[in-house]
């Protein structure tokens, strides 16, 4: 039986794209084939999670996964704890992301909330996890995680590394997406297709619309050549080619469906761009890493590991692995 998604009073599940780009992004991953569902897959990261889960000796694992996204850590934990008593709670600022988790993992409890203001009592969990999520909410989110972790509880986070492989990729994606927005490709394409799809349009009118669209078409083609067809997960290349295909056979497509798709993509591309920007901003450099270590110590966390990890053997470092244990109840929390 699926558990209902709980919503913290400070976060509205009906937020607009401008108010919550994360909701727009995760909703888009469920509605649009342009996006791939899921998160980065890495043998090295999977190995670290399996080792962490296997080492736990709690009679009942009470796990909180912060900024869960599509729940990759929760899925691994559900498998690892299959034969052991466990309770898993996933929190995220996006209800759409949590609905995807609830669909796949009906035993998991989900709650919409801001990671920097967790709606849980002190010492509520004995395992706190996050993969490429908690850092988006800032350093306050780490303090909140320490607060809800009970003494002898385990804290393990994999976070974005400033200057790492993912960070560099996100910088390129963000630059390409912003430059794509400036081309006005979507609005020019809508105007061109509207003209082509009107049966009463003359060839002269179509030619005028095409001339207006040509600078955007050329700029987008150059953009894809500059950054590569796979930039932004191949999204730009797909939109460019789909529009070209529709334009060549405009009379074979339903106008309302085409324009609905293009307008949806315009909104989702903006959300995708904001996600890339957020990734770049959230990436943790050495200075912030030192502050996180210091805060952890002040909250009674013994840091067992704080190291940089690649995605693959011999690859460039892309993530921080932070693993600690809460050994002392800090009354000042």
The ranges assigned to domains in the chain are 6-164+283-326, 166-278
Query: At residue 4, does pLDDT exceed 70?
Result: no
DSSP 8-state secondary structure symbol assigned to residue 218: H
Query: At residue 39, does pLDDT exceed 90?
Result: no
Q: What is the pLDDT of residue 37?
A: 39
Query: Which burial class, exposed, middle or buried, applies to 113 when counting CB atoms under 10 A from its CB (0-12, 13-18, 19+)?
Result: buried
Q: What is the pLDDT of residue 19?
A: 52
DSSP 8-state secondary structure symbol assigned to residue 225: H
Q: Tell me the C-alpha distance between 91 and 113, whole Å.
A: 6
Q: What is the pLDDT of residue 275?
A: 87
What integer is the mean pLDDT of 137-143? Answer: 94
Looking at the DSSP bridge assignments, the partners of residue 326 are 301
Looking at the DSSP bridge assignments, the partners of residue 161 are 284
DSSP 8-state secondary structure symbol assigned to residue 36: P
Q: Tell me the C-alpha distance between 61 and 89, whole Å.
A: 11
The region of weakest confidence among 14-18, 214-218, 229-233 is 14-18
Measured CA to CA in angstroms, residue 13 lies from 19, 20, 34, 237 at distances of 11, 9, 23, 32
Instruction: Confirm or reject CATH 3.40.50.150 for domain 6-164+283-326, answering yes or no.
Output: yes
Do 87 and 78 form a contact (C-beta atoms < 8 A)?
no
């Amino acid at each position: 039986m699926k558990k209902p998604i709980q919503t913290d009073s400070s976060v509205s599940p009906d937020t607009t794209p401008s108010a919550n780009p994360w909701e727009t992004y995760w909703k888009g991953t469920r509605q649009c084939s342009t996006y791939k569902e899921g998160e980065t897959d890495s043998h090295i990261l999977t190995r670290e999670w399996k080792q962490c889960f296997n080492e736990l000796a709690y009679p009942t694992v009470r796990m909180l996964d912060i900024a869960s996204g599509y729940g990759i850590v929760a899925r691994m934990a559900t498998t690892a704890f299959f034969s052991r008593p466990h309770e898993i709670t996933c929190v995220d600022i996006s209800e759409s992301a949590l609905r995807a988790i609830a669909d796949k993992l009906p035993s998991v409890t989900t709650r919409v909330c801001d990671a920097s203001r967790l709606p849980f009592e002190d010492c509520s969990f004995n395992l706190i996890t996050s993969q490429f999520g908690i850092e988006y909410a800032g350093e306050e989110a780490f303090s909140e995680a320490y607060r809800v972790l009970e003494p002898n509880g385990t804290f393990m986070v994999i976070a974005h590394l400033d200057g790492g492989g993912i960070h560099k990729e996100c910088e390129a994606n963000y630059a390409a997406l912003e430059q794509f927005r400036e081309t006005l490709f979507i609005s020019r394409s809508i105007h061109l297709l509207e003209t082509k799809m009107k049966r009463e349009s003359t060839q002269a009118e179509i030619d005028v619309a095409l001339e207006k669209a040509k600078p955007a078409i050329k700029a987008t083609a150059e953009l894809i050549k500059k950054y590569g067809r796979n930039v932004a997960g191949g999204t730009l290349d797909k939109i460019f080619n789909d529009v070209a295909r529709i334009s060549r056979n405009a009379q074979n497509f339903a106008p309302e469906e085409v324009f609905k798709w293009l307008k949806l993509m315009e909104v989702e591309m903006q959300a995708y761009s904001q996600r890339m920007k957020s990734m770049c901003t959230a990436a943790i450099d050495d200075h912030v890493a030192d502050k996180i270590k210091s805060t952890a110590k002040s909250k009674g966390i013994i840091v067992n590991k704080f190291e940089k990890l690649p995605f693959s053997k011999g690859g460039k470092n892309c993530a921080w692995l932070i693993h600690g244990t809460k050994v002392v109840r800090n009354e000042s929390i």
